[in-house]
Every structure is written in C-alpha cells, then in structure tokens.
Amino acid sequence: MAVRRPSRVREGIDPALVTTDATALVKRGDIDVVVEVIGGIEPARTLITTAFEYGASVVSANKALLAQDGAALHAVAEEHGEDLYYEASVAGAIPLIRPLRESLAGDKVNRVLGIVNGTTNFILDKMDSTGAGYQEALDEATALGYAEADPTADVEAFDAAAKAAILAGIAFHTRVRLDDVYREGMTEVTAADFASARAMGCTIKLLAICERAADGGSVTARVHPAMIPLSHPLASVRGAYNAVFVESDAAGQLMFYGPGAGGAPTASAVLGDLVAVCRNRLSGATGPGESAYAALTVSPMGDVVTRYHISLDVADKPGVLAQVATVFAEHGVSIDTVRQQGRQDSDGEASLVVVTHRASDASLSGTVEALRKLDTVRGVASIMRVEGE
C-alpha cells in the first residue's frame, strides 16, 4: 500500500505493509492487481503503465486520466495481457461501465444523457427548490461539504466533461477524448432561467450528452446546462445524486441512479472491479478491453442538433418581433413559440422569449450573432438548450 503520509493511523492495516514508494511497489513483480485511487494525470499514468509492464492488472477510479489517455492505457494493458477496469471513474458506485460495455454489448446505444456531477446537481436543485441564486446555492454546497473550496472543476464542468468522454467512448465503441467534448459550465444559470424553465414545464440540469448522429456515422459529446421536462426521469434526480439515462435500439430507455461520489460508494465500485479482475486472473482470462472498433468521427458542437430557449431584452415597440423572426428565418432556425412581455421596471424595454424547433448549434450561433447586431435587441439575456423531449 503506497501512501503519501505513512505515519497516519490506518485501522486494521499492518504499518509494515505501508510505503511511500509507489514505483517500487508496482515494480515488485509479484503484484496481481494494482488499485489506483490517486487521481490526476501524473504520477498515476506512469504507475499504471509500469504496473502493466510488471504483470499486474489495474483497477482505477481516475476519470481525468481515463478521459485523456484511455486508449493508450488500454493498449498497454492489452499488450501485456492485463485487465484495466474503472467503474469508479464515472458516477461513483452506480454500475454503469459494466452495464454499458457488457449488458448492452448486443444492443446499439444512440444517446446517453447524464447527471454525472453531484456538486452541480446539488446547487441546481437548491436553486430550483428555493429560488436561490447561483452564489447563494454554491455557498450552501460549500458549507455542507458538497463543493470544494475551489469549485472550478465541478461548476465549470471539467469533471463532467471527463466523464462524458469515458461514457461516449464506451457507449459508441469509439474513441472520444476529453478535447472532443464541448464544455460549458453552470455558473451563469440564474433564478430567472429557472423561472423560464418552469414556465415551459421544465427544470435545469447540468447534462453530459453523448449522441449518435441521425445518419449513424458520427457522434457528439457535450456538457452544458439544459432544460429538461419535469416528466423526464432525470428531472427528479435530487441533491448530490447522479443518474445516467441511456437510449438504445432494443432496450429502449434505461436509467441508472445512485450516489455519484464519496469514499464508500467509490470503494464499492473499486471492490466490484477487484473481484472481477481476480476472477479473470484465476481463470487465466481477461475481461473486455477497449472497444473502439466503430471508429466514428466525433463531430464539433456546431453539428449538434437540438432545441433552444432564448431570452432577449428588446425595445418595446412595434415591429421588433418581425425583425427578430426574420433573423431566425434567415439562419434556417424555425421558431416553435414566442412569448413577448413588457417589463414593469424598464424604460421602453420588453423581453422576448423564443423557443425554437430543432436546429444545429451552428445555425443557432449564427442567429444569435445576427440578433446582437440588431439595434432593437438590447441584449441576449440567456440561451439554454432544451433536451430530453
């Protein structure tokens, strides 16, 4: 057992088994399985690679490393005939990687929609249920220990993006790297956005969305806040819980729900993997390795097709709606509904809420750029994608 602070008292562990020299440990040569729960890229990557070279299989909980270098690690594991398991890297104890890569091995997954970060789900749930603003909800999450002192990795969705890369790779049998994942944090979600969501029968969640394109030849992976209908099973995922919704050809709609983080849940997932790897070793076999045979292209965010909810601050005078509608039409973005209302507090300002039909993200970006140039549009208050319909 290699640790940073060997002097710490560890109930039930013989101190003679504790070392600070992780490298010497993985190089012993008589190790069957290495459990890596360090996190981060280095020294984890080198230790895991060395473990494979010295004849050990690896169980890891390291989402950052798997998202960045999963393919390379799988290649080294395969070269040495070793197992690489990492159930704990995505959504804590929720069995997700095993179901996706084994239970659905004979099915075709078309979409994965996941709440894969407990901190941000806690914050958004708090905003939804109490009307609190982002900062207030974050402060409560910090006070309760759900958010770290520096919450950047969570609220800017770096954590969720890493999980999206891992999920997309496994779901679509293709390589998706962290850099392929479009990422938008949730720090700019406001109480007003929640009010807009409620008016549409929706709530707001930070979603990891992995989709196969309609033509089947490419995939996309993205993480951003989105409105989803209250009737969607993900809408009722409360507090710091995680859940992943999977749509496949044959199985239909599945959802996996549970605690997304924490010491004990992570230990549960790691132990499940450890048992599997030990079983494999005893029978002289290895479990499923990387499955990247589909080798699909990962398309950029502009190719994503979805619906949008756009709030505009506009001049409160005749003809504005016609101008705005023209811009949408010119960019090929079809409008589903428009709600226009004068604002009590303004000098001749009104707000215009547009919900579109499905359109590409590139078309929507073009539309918004053009809207900003209109004299009558004072500002774009918010743009939110609408998912799960």
Of 270, 298, 359, 377, the one binding its own copies by CB under 8 A: 270
Which among 139-147, 243-251, 358-366, 374-382 is the span making contact with its own copies, rule CB under 8 A?
243-251
CB-CB contact of 259 with 240 (8 Å): yes
| Helix (H/G/I), strand (E/B), else coil: 375 | coil
For 305, the token pair is 């097709």
Of 69, 82, 83, 87, the one binding its own copies by CB under 8 A: 87
DSSP letters of 117-163? -HHHHHHHHHHHHH---HHHHHHHHHHTTSS-SS-HHHHTTHHHHHH
Q: How far is the CB of 216 from its own copies (least distance, A)?
A: 18
Of 216, 239, 262, 342, the one binding its own copies by CB under 8 A: 262
Of 46, 129, 135, 253, the one binding its own copies by CB under 8 A: 253
- How many Å apart are CA 368 and CA 9, to the nearest integer? 58
> Checking phi first, is residue 147 left (phi over 0); if not, alpha (psi -120 to 50) or beta?
beta
Burial (0-12, 13-18, 19+ Cβ within 10 Å), 156: middle
Is 114 an interacting residue with respect to its own copies (CB under 8 A)?
no
Which among 6-14, 23-31, 85-93, 112-120 is the span making contact with its own copies, rule CB under 8 A?
85-93
The DSSP H or E segment spanning 324 is helix 320-330
163 belongs to the catalytic site: yes
Q: Which of residues 282-311 bind its own copies (CB under 8 A)?
A: 283-286, 288
How many chain residues touch its own copies (CB under 8 A)?
47
Q: Say if strands 305-315 and 349-356 run parallel, antiparallel, or are unpaired.
A: antiparallel
* Closer of 248 and 311 to its own copies (Cβ): 248
Question: Amino acid identity, residue 295?
Answer: A
Of 27, 142, 200, 256, the one binding its own copies by CB under 8 A: 256
Who's near 5: CB < 8 A, 6+ residues apart? none
Residue 57 pairs with which residues in a beta bridge?
Answer: 33
Q: Say if strands 218-229 and 202-212 run parallel, antiparallel, or are unpaired.
A: antiparallel
Q: Which of 165, 164, 142, 167 is nearest to 152 (CA)?
A: 142
Of 43, 55, 229, 272, the one binding its own copies by CB under 8 A: 272
Burial letters 301-340, b for 16+ CB under 10 A, else e: beebebbbbbbbbbbbeeebeeebeebbeebebeeeebee
Is 389 an interacting residue with respect to its own copies (CB under 8 A)?
no
Q: How far is the CB of 68 from its own copies (least distance, A)?
A: 25
Q: How far is the CB of 209 from its own copies (least distance, A)?
A: 18
Which among 19-27, 86-94, 145-153, 293-301 is the span making contact with its own copies, rule CB under 8 A?
86-94
Is 229 an interacting residue with respect to its own copies (CB under 8 A)?
no
**Site map (CB under 8 A) of its own copies, residues 1-20, x = contact:** --------------------
Q: How far is the CB of 274 from its own copies (least distance, A)?
A: 6
Establish whether the linkage from the previous residue to 6 is cis, with ω within 30° of 0: no
Q: How far is the CB of 146 from its own copies (least distance, A)?
A: 15
For 371, the token pair is 């809207």
Is 58 an interacting residue with respect to its own copies (CB under 8 A)?
no
Is 102 an interacting residue with respect to its own copies (CB under 8 A)?
yes
| Helix (H/G/I), strand (E/B), else coil: 365 | helix
Of 49, 57, 268, 367, the one binding its own copies by CB under 8 A: 268
Q: Which residue among 163, 205, 317, 373 is the active-site one? A: 163
Q: How far is the CB of 279 from its own copies (least distance, A)?
A: 7
* Closer of 289 and 302 to its own copies (Cβ): 289
Is 43 an interacting residue with respect to its own copies (CB under 8 A)?
no
Task: Return the ∠ at Cα 224 (arms to 71 and 121), rounded to 5°.
Answer: 100
What residues act catalytically? Answer: 163
Enumerate binding residues for its own copies (CB under 8 A).
87, 92-95, 98-99, 102-107, 233, 236, 243, 248-259, 262, 264-265, 267-272, 274-276, 279-280, 283-286, 288
